[in-house]
Structure formats: structure tokens, C-alpha cells
Amino acid sequence: MVPVANAPILEHVVESLAEVGVDQLVFVVGYRRQRIQTYFGDGDDWGVDIEYVVQEKQLGTGHAVLQAEDAVAGDFLVVNGDSLVDTSLVEALLSADGDAVAVTRSDQPTDYGVVDIEDGAVAGVEEKPRVYDAETETINAGVYRFDDAVFDAIHAADRMSLTDALVRRAAEGRVEAVRVEGWTDVSHLWDLVRVNSAAVDGDHDGADVHPTAYVADEVALGEDARVGPNATVLAGTTVGDNATVGAGAVVGNSVVFEDARVGPNAVVRDAVLASDSSVGPNATVEGGRADVVVDGNLYRNVLLGGVVGDYSTVAGGATLEPGTVLENDSRVGTGATASGRVGSGTEVRR
């Protein structure tokens, strides 16, 4: 589960929902669902009831929603677990009149479904249009209000696509397009760096900071996170539970997940260090902007020093060029330099 300011994104979502009285939640879970179940349980800690349904194969969002068919009745909301929604957004949908979808403006409309709106209602959706095809910058935020008739629409939809089901519902009747603020997509890793740095506060309780270390105010430290002698943790950084920043290391504007380790004198900036990953002594993630390719799309000039995937290792003295992404279980050997994308389970040697 991806953390922002030391709480999983999903937890921020649950809190927003609970705050405005949405207290019956159905989680559609699949990949690594055990972590989610272990974290949230029955939802008692958040004052909500959580029921789990399992999506065995990840066949898209419409398919995911279908899994909940037996678990919901009447009106319900559909919310993504990996983008942040605030309470005003949820309230706007709750007060809508029947079916509705949250729409918002985006600088990158080509990443999303662009919504064509007529008279406050959905008239059509263009999925990931090419730049010159995008008619507006109003995009589908992926937060919906439906009643259980939507399940029929999904069954009828092309490849069980939720967008297609949305268009069908809009053709059959009115689907209100609710303009919202307070939606933050975190689907790209550089989003995580940016969103995290905006969200962190000065929560240092429960961490173990050596008296000679410097920890800036806008830093969130998890339970039993360690900051060693003479280490520096700069603003915009989250250090997760039981994670370690070694002696003399410098970490800034980064998200360090639970159990991850930054070795002595390492430098880590604008980076994401995933669960139980490790950056060795004197290793460098210098930080800064780079062009990053994801799924064949080029994203220019994004602020991303680097990503170290779950259980991956950057060994002593190694360097990540800006924009480097190490997938899970990969390794950059002692003194080696990595750039671009390093596949899961592979090793970069000097």
C-alpha cells in the first residue's frame, strides 16, 4: 500500500468517506490483498464497516465493480483506492440527484477520459484522446455515484469497461457531471513525491532520532523510524515505520516506505524507496527532473530522482540518474550507475 505522509492513500480515502458519514464500505481487492486486509480489518478503527470481495483476475475497473454486485444495493459510490479524494468531493456526489460522476480539470487530459458535458450532464467520454483530439481539459476523476442498475450496464458494456457503462447510463438517462476540486491522482510515481511533500506535517512521534541528526519540520517519521547520527532529513520527506536513515545520510523530498534502509552517507532526493528496499553506504540518488517513459508514453521533465522497488537494493557507492526506476527485487551493484528502467529481478553491474 502506497503511503502519503505515513498513511496509505487508501486510508486517506477511507477517512474522507467516514468523515461525511459513508460508513458501509466494500473493498474490491486482488493483488496483495492480504496487506490491505491486515491493515484495515473490519474497519472498526475508522468507525466504518468494511466488507471484502475478491477480484481474482484484474480485468479492468468495470469488472472490479461487478465483483461488488452482491454486496451492494440501492445507491452507492465508486471510489478508486489510489487517488486522494477530499470530503467536499464526496459530499458533492452525495448531494447529486441520482447517477453522477466527478469531473475535474487536468493539465494532462490525455492521460484520462475526457468528458463531454451538455447541460451539466455527461454527453460522451473520450478515453485517453490524443493531444489534438482533446476537446476540453475536463476529465473523469473516476469517482461515481450509481444505483444497482449500473451492473446491467457493465454486463452489456464493451469488455466490461466502466467508462463504456457510464456512457450507456448517460444514453439511457441523465448522469450528472459534478465539477469537483479536491481530487489528486497518484497514479504516477512522481505524483507520489509531489503529493507527499504537500501532505507531510511535523509528526515525529514514536521515531528514534539521534541527538546529532537534523530533521526538518515538514517531515513525517513513522513508528520506530530511525535517524542516525549526523543524518539530515529535509522537508517533504516521509520515513515509514521501522525504516532507517543511516549515519550522515541526507534524505530530502522523498517517500521512504516501511522497513526500507538508507545507508551511512547516502544521498537520496526526490525519490521513492519502496518497502524493505535498501540504499547502501555512499550511494547517490541525486534528484532532479528527467524525462520518464511509462507504458510507451513519454512524460517530459518530471521531478523524480528515482524509484527503488520493493526489496530492491542500490549497493554501496552506486548511483541512480534522475528518473531511474528499479522494479521490484532488482539490484544495482557496488559502484554501478543505473538509468532508465531496470526490470524486476535483474542486476546492474559496473
Partner 1 sequence: MCGIVGYVGDDDALPVILDGLKRLEYRGYDSAGVCLRTDPLTVHKKAGEVDELVEAAPESSEATCGVGHTRWSTHGEPTDENAHPHADEARRYAVVHNGIIDNHAELRDELEDRGHVFESDTDTEVVPHLLSEAEGELVERLGAVVERLEGSYALACVSADSDEVVVARQDSPLVVGHGDDANYVGSDVTAFVEHTRRVSYLHDGDIARVTADSIEVWNDGESVDRAVETVDWDVEAAEKGGYEHYMLKEIHEQPRALRKTVSERTDEVEGEALLDVSDEVLAEHDRVEFVACGTSYHAALYARRLFEEYADISATAEYASEYDGPHAPEETLVVAVTQSGETADTLSATRRAAREGATTVAVTNTVGSTAARETDETVYIRAGPEIGVAATKTFASQVVTLALVAVAAGRARDALPASEASSVLADLRDVPGAVQRVLDNEDRVAETAEEYGWDDAFFYVGRRLGYPVALEGALKLKEISYDHAEGFPAGELKHGPLALVTPDTPVLAVMTDGTRPRETLNNVKEVESRGAPVVAVTSSDADEGARLADTVFRVPSLGDMEPLLANVYLQMFAYHVARLKDRPIDKPRNLAKSVTVE
Return the number of the residue (53 or 123) whose C-beta is nearest partner 1: 53
Closest separation in Å from C-beta 71 to partner 1: 12
Bridge pairing between strands 306-308 and 284-285: unpaired
Write the DSSP symbol of residue 72.
-
Closest separation in Å from C-beta 332 to partner 1: 17
Closest separation in Å from C-beta 329 to partner 1: 9
The closest alpha carbon to 210, from 229, 238, 233, belongs to: 229
Return the number of the residue (173 or 345) whose C-beta is nearest partner 1: 345
Q: What is the DSSP string of 93-144?
A: HHTSSSSEEEEEE-S-GGGSEEEEEETTEEEEEEES--GGG---SEEEEEEE
Return the number of the residue (208 or 286) whose C-beta is nearest partner 1: 208
- For 249, other C-beta atoms within 10 Å of its C-beta total 26
Closest separation in Å from C-beta 266 to partner 1: 15
* Helix then strand then coil, % of the chain, to nearest 5: 20, 35, 45
Closest separation in Å from C-beta 8 to partner 1: 13
Return the number of the residue (163 or 265) whose C-beta is nearest partner 1: 265
**Interface contacts to partner 1, rule CB under 8 A:** 27, 29, 32-35, 37-38, 40-42, 44-45, 50-52, 206, 208, 210, 223-224, 226, 228-229, 241-242, 244, 247, 258-261, 275-276, 310-311
Return the number of the residue (126 or 259) whose C-beta is nearest partner 1: 259
Closest separation in Å from C-beta 311 to partner 1: 6
Could you give the CA distance from residue 276 to residue 313 in angstroms, rounded to a whole number?
Answer: 9
Return the number of the residue (272 or 290) whose C-beta is nearest partner 1: 272
Cα-to-chain-centroid distance, residue 172: 33
Contact 148, 73 (CB under 8 A): yes
Q: Is 280 helix (H, G, I), strand (E, B) or coil?
A: coil
